[in-house]
Amino acid sequence: VTQNEELLPQAWLFRQIAFLCFAVKIQFTAPMPLNAIMVAAWRPEGPREWTPGRMFALLALTAVTAVTAVAFSKQVGVVAALTGSLFTMSTAVLFPAAIDLCLVCRYEDRALLSAQNLLHLLVLIFGVIIAVAGTYLSVLDLIQ
């Protein structure tokens, strides 16, 4: 499917519109998980949450996203599949399950590998398998 849209000359305008919408979508969805990751990995010091280092990381992510979108603008479907398998699985499946598991283990005094956490662990395993498989297939499609 993704190779066919590149061969259609009348699809150029729609491909450019899809590229623009996709670039805007990524810019709106990336800061949410980025902020959660930054706070967890790089604690804010002082009253400012967005320090110059964090702003630089956000600008670097924006630049990488923009360069990737421009480089693969002819293959919008492949890039959409790649980010869908990567970002959607992380924000919709992996992060909520991992955060809930961490909170349950911390505040309910449960062991990580207990029977009560089996559902959380199964969701995490499923999410990782689907994210890895989807990313692998998207990269294969991107290379070809």
DSSP character at residue 74: G
Sign of the CA dihedral with 58 first, then 61, 65, and 67 last: positive
pLDDT per residue as tens digits for the range 27-38: 676 666 666 666
Nearest to 55 by CA among 70, 67, 42: 42
pLDDT of residue 125: 92
pLDDT per residue over 51-88, tens digit each? 787 788 778 877 887 787 777 767 767 777 777 777 77
Q: How far apart are CA 100 and CA 54, in angstroms?
A: 25
Structure tokens at 36: 């959660």
* Token pair belonging to 19: 């590229």
